[in-house]
Structures are given as C-alpha cells and as structure tokens.
Amino acid sequence: MDHKQRQRRLRLLIKRLNGDRKKQAKKIDILCNDLIAAQRDFIERLQPISFAACFYESIIGMTDLDKLLSAASRLIKDEIGNANVTFFLRNAESFELYMFQSDKLITTENSRLEDCFSTELVESICKSNRPCTLDDMFAMGLQGNLIRLKNISGTTIPLGEFGCSSGFILIWRSAQDPLAAEGLKKISAVAPGLSRAIEASRVLACSGDQTGRCDAIPD
C-alpha cells in the first residue's frame, strides 16, 4: 500500500469518526432535552400536590365555620394572587354568603359582583355543579351593568361531592389581570376536601345549637 492510499484511508477513517461523534452528540442532546422536559413535567405535577398538602394541613382540625372559610380564603388568595373570594353556601331557604377582607376590593360605584347574585342564580350555579364563567352566569340570569362587568375576570368553583352541591366559591378580580387556569385547577382540586370540612363544621354547629333548629341543605 502506497503513501497516497494510506492517506486516503486515514481521511475516510477520520471522516467516519467525526460522523459517529456528531451522531453521538445529537443523541446526547436529545436525551438531555428529554430529561429536562421530564423534570419540568414532574415539577408541574408536583406543584398542585404541594398546594393541596399545604391547604389541607392549614385547615385540618378547624370546626368553626367562619375560621375555616377565613383560612381557606387566605390560602386561595395567596395562590391566585390579589382577588376577591366569596363563599356561597346553600341552606333550606336561600343561601349564606361569606366574604373576608381583601387588600384591594374591586367596587363599581359602591356595588360588588356579589350584589348581582339572586337566590335563583345561586341555585342555577349549584345545580350546574361545574365551574362557571361570567358568560355562563349571564346565561343563568346574572343581572348587572354589562359595561362594568366586562371589566371583571371571574369564575365559580363548585363545592360538593358525588353530584350533591353545597354551594360554590366565587373568585373575581379586574379583567386587566385575568384569572389563570393553572391556579384555578389547584383550587378545584382541593374543593372536595374543603366541602367535607364545611359540612362537618355545619353539622357541629347544628348539634350545638340550643334551639335545636338546623336548616337542611337542599338536594
């Protein structure tokens, strides 16, 4: 084998080695990207679990309804960001409304979104047993100034289990800072557990009522 042939074979060998290195580097890049994507997905899945654990740990053992809902409101606001959080709970005759102080309450000429809710609207939202947007609420009979209400981003999250509604959570704030779906999913995930805690506190309140009167929650 002469000198030229050896050089030609050497160049081919180097070319093949370089090609193999590029293929290997590409495989490593793909593997690293897959690992990063899997880690990102794991963290995203872990966040709702972490929120749920923190939420339940904070309300466990609470038997006073006002304190329970106040704590739940604070936890929801911490997760969602600045927002108005109101609890609508059904009773035999109408509904009970629980709302707690917010740093920045949104008002429209001394009126609030909660003022637009009638007993019929509350019942319709409860019977739907699903999250309702403002458009859904308008279709169900929400009454109010359309121009002002367009400046609001709001939704309801059902409270209850197994198709039996005990009420819902109303969350709203300025449309300039719309509610994020990711945060609302976290709240929806803890709603069943919060519903059980609410019902337990109401049962205890009824059992401790010296008048012996306790309004039943309609089916």
Residue 79 CA to residue 81 CA, distance in Å, equals 6
pLDDT of residue 218 exceeding 60 = no
Among 5-9, 24-28, 78-82, which range has the highest average pLDDT?
78-82
pLDDT tens digits for range 153-162: 999 999 987 7
Confidence at residue 99, expressed as pLDDT on a 0 to 100 scale = 86
SS3 content of the chain, % helix, strand, coil (to 5): 55, 15, 25
Q: Is the pLDDT of residue 186 over 60?
A: yes
Q: Which residue has the higher pLDDT, 202 or 34?
A: 202
The pLDDT tens digits of the residues spanning 89-145 come to: 988 778 888 988 654 433 334 457 888 898 999 999 999 989 999 989 989 988 877
Axis crossing angle, helix 3-59 with helix 65-80, rounded to the nearest 10: 160
pLDDT, position 102: 52
User: What's the pLDDT at 89?
Assistant: 93
The pLDDT, as a whole number, for residue 113 is 83
Question: What CA–CA distance (Å, rounded) separates 13 from 65?
Answer: 78
- pLDDT of 190 higher than 80: yes
Please compute the mean of the pLDDT values over residues 175-194 and round it to a whole number: 90
| Tens digits of residue pLDDT in 12-66 | 777 777 777 777 777 766 766 666 566 556 555 656 678 888 888 888 888 889 8
> Model confidence over 162-173: pLDDT tens digits?
778 889 999 998
pTM: 0.72
Relative orientation angle of helices 181-207 and 3-59, to the nearest 10 degrees: 20
pLDDT score, position 109 = 41
DSSP string, 28-85: HHHHHHHHHHHHHHHHHHHHHHHHHHHHHHHHTT---HHHHHHHHHHHHHHHH-S-EE
What is the structure's pLDDT at 92? Answer: 76
Six token digits for residue 192? 């069943």
From the list 207, 185, 198, 195, the residue with the least C-alpha distance to 79 is 185
pLDDT at 212: 44
What count of other Cβ atoms lies within 10 Å of the Cβ of residue 24? Answer: 10
